[in-house]
A and B are shown apart, each in its own frame.
Chain A
Amino acid sequence: MTDFKSEVIAAGGEGIAACYQCGTCSGGCPTVSAMDFTPRQIIRMVNLGMRDRVLSSKTIWLCASCYQCQVRCPREVKITEVMAALKSMAMKEGYNSSIAKPRAASFYRNFNEIVANLGRQFEPLLLLKTTLGSRESITSKLGYLLKNAPFGITLMKKGKLPFKPEKISGSEEVRKIFENVAKMEAGE
C-alpha cells in the first residue's frame, strides 16, 4: 500500500502539498462550526499522513461540496475534490465514525444503487433505504422516518412525490457504466 498522502493525490487531490495553511478555506466554510477538524487542519493532516484520524473525522461528512473553499484557495488546492476522495476512501475502508452520522454514507451508497437499477433517482425510495440502511439504532431510524412522514404527505398532496419508480429503457447501459467503473477502479 502506498502512503496516505499519495493516495489522496492520486484520487484527485493534486496540489495539496502546496498548502501554506492560510485558513482561507476554513474562513469561508459554511459548515465549519459543526466540524471536529477545520478544512485547513484536514489538509495538513493529509499532508502528514494521518490516515486514521482523517478518515474517521466528522468533517469529511459535513462537507457540503459547496466549492467555496476551492474557488478561494490562493494555492489552488482542490479542497472539495480532496473531501470527495476522502469520503470515497472512508466508505471503501469501512470507516464509520459514531459522531459522523452514518446516514451520509448510506445516502451515497443507496443513491448509487437505485440509479444503477432504474437509470434515474426515485426520491421516496432513497429516503427509506438511506434511513434503513444506515448504521444507527433502530429507534433512531424509526424516529427519523416518523418525524419525516408528515413532510412526505405534504409533498404527496402537492403532487410532488411520484408513487412508483420508473425504469428508463437504457437502464442496462447505466448499470454497465457502474460495473465498468468499479472494475477499472479495482484494477488501479
Chain B
Amino acid sequence: MSYAYYPGCSLEATAKEYDISFRSVFTALGLEFEELEDWSCCGASAAHATSKLLSVALPARDLAKAEAQGKDVVAPCPACYQNLKQAREYVLESEENREKLSKALEGTGLEVKGEVKVRHPLDVLVNDLGLEALAEKVVEPLEGLRVVPYYGCYITRPPGKESFDDVENPTSMDKIIQALGATVLPFTRKTRCCGGPVMMSNEATMHKLSYEIIKEAKEAGAQAIIVACPMCHMTLDAKQPEIEKHYGEELDIPVLYITQLIGLALGLDPYAELGLDKNIVSTEKIVQKYSKKMVKAKA
C-alpha cells in the first residue's frame, strides 16, 4: 500500500526538519509514499474562523486529488490532518453536505466522495507498520534517554469516527518512543494547548502556556520534549529563547519531532536525513550520544 503524502505549508518552511525526517523515516521503514501532486493549503484556522463550508471546501480539493489516485492521505501536520479528516467526515455525513460541497467546487472539475482515509503518521506507524516491526528496525536503541511526549490539540481533538488515540490520554507516541528503547516520563500536559494559535494576537498567553509545558518537562527530568506538530514545535523550540528571556530563566531543553527521534534509532544521518541541525534549541548532546553516524563522521 502506498500513501499520498500531504506535507502542508509549514513543512515546506518553518517545519522543514519535519518534512526531511518524515521522508527519511518512512523510506527506511519501507512505507511507500508519494507527494500529492500540486496540493493546496488546507485553510488551517483561518478558513475555520471564516466559515464552516470554506474549512471543508479547501481541503476537499486535496481529498479529490488523493481519491483520483485511490490512496489514503498521510498528513504529519495535525492542523492539516484535522481539516482533511473533517472534510471527509463532512462528505460522508449527508447527501445535503455532498450537494453543498459540490456547489462549492463548481467550475473546478473536482469531485469528492470521501473514499480515501486521512491518516496521521503516528496512526500509520502504530497500526499499519506495528510496534514490533518498528522495534525490529532499531539499530541504535535510545537507552538511557528520558523524554516526555507532547501531543498538543489536533492529533486527538476533536475526535471522529476514525480517531486512533485516546482524547484525554493519548499513548501512540509513548509506545513508539518505548519501542525505540527510550524512557517515557509521566507528563500531565500531554494534550494541553501550547498557545500556538494565539501566537501573533496574544503573545503573553502563548508564552505562559508554552512555559508551563517546558517547565513541567524539565521538572520531570526530561532530556527532550518529543512532538508531532509544527505549531507546537514553533512555540516550544523556536520561541524557547524568547520564553527564556520573558521569564528570565534558562530552559535549554531540545524539542525533537517524533520522526527525528525514530530516525536516530534507525541509525540515519542526523543532519542530511533528519535535519537535526535545523532545530533552534541545540540537539547536539542527544546526537552525540546516540548517533554513531555522527561519531564516525567526526573521526
Partner-B contacts on A (CB < 8 A): 11-12, 30-31, 34, 61-62, 64-68, 70-71, 80-81, 84-85, 87-88, 91, 101, 103-104, 107-109, 111-112, 115, 119-123, 127, 130, 151, 154-155, 158-162, 168-171, 173-174, 176-178, 180-181, 184-185
**Hey, what's the 0/1 contact readout for B205-223 against A, CB within 8 Å counting as 1?**
1000100000000000000
- Closest CB of chain A to B70's CB: distance in Å? 19
- Closest CB of chain A to B55's CB: distance in Å? 8
Q: Are A161 and B61 in contact (CB under 8 A)?
A: no
Looking across the interface, which residue of chain B has its beta carbon closest to that of A177? B57
Q: Are B40 and A180 in contact (CB under 8 A)?
A: no
- Identify A62's interface contact among B16, B45, B106, B205, CB under 8 A: B205
Separation of A177 and B51 alpha carbons in the complex (Å): 12
Q: Are B195 and A177 in contact (CB under 8 A)?
A: no
Residues of chain B within 8 A of A162, CB atoms compared: 12-13
Q: Are B40 and A170 in contact (CB under 8 A)?
A: yes
Q: Are B105 and A108 in contact (CB under 8 A)?
A: no
Looking across the interface, which residue of chain A has its beta carbon closest to that of B192? A30
Q: Does B145 contact A (CB under 8 A)?
A: no
Size class of the B contact interface (CB-based, 8 Å): 35 or more
- Identify A103's interface contact among B9, B54, B200, CB under 8 A: B200
Q: Are A177 and B14 in contact (CB under 8 A)?
A: no
Residues of chain B within 8 A of A185, CB atoms compared: 51, 53
- Closest CB of chain A to B150's CB: distance in Å? 13
Separation of A103 and B202 alpha carbons in the complex (Å): 9
Residues of chain B within 8 A of A109, CB atoms compared: 46
- Identify B50's interface contact among A91, A158, A170, A180, CB under 8 A: A91
Q: Does B100 contact A (CB under 8 A)?
A: yes
Looking across the interface, which residue of chain A has its beta carbon closest to that of B82? A67
Q: Are A88 and B49 in contact (CB under 8 A)?
A: yes
- Across chains A and B, the number of contacting residue pairs, with CB separation under 8 Å, is 181
Q: Are B107 and A176 in contact (CB under 8 A)?
A: yes
Q: Are B58 and A115 in contact (CB under 8 A)?
A: yes
Q: Are A64 and B107 in contact (CB under 8 A)?
A: no
Residues of chain A within 8 A of B129, CB atoms compared: none
Separation of A186 and B53 alpha carbons in the complex (Å): 12
Residues of chain A within 8 A of B158, CB atoms compared: 67, 70-71, 80
- Closest CB of chain A to B14's CB: distance in Å? 5
Looking across the interface, which residue of chain A has its beta carbon closest to that of B159? A71
Looking across the interface, which residue of chain B has its beta carbon closest to that of A101? B201
Q: Are A64 and B108 in contact (CB under 8 A)?
A: no
Q: Are A170 and B38 in contact (CB under 8 A)?
A: yes
Known contacts A11-B52, A185-B53; A158/B43 CB under 8 A = no
Residues of chain B within 8 A of A70, CB atoms compared: 157-158
Separation of A62 and B50 alpha carbons in the complex (Å): 16
- Identify B45's interface contact among A108, A115, A178, CB under 8 A: A108
- Closest CB of chain A to B205's CB: distance in Å? 5
Q: Of residues 202 to 255 in B, which have CB atoms within 8 Å of A's CB atoms?
A: 202, 204-205, 209, 238, 242
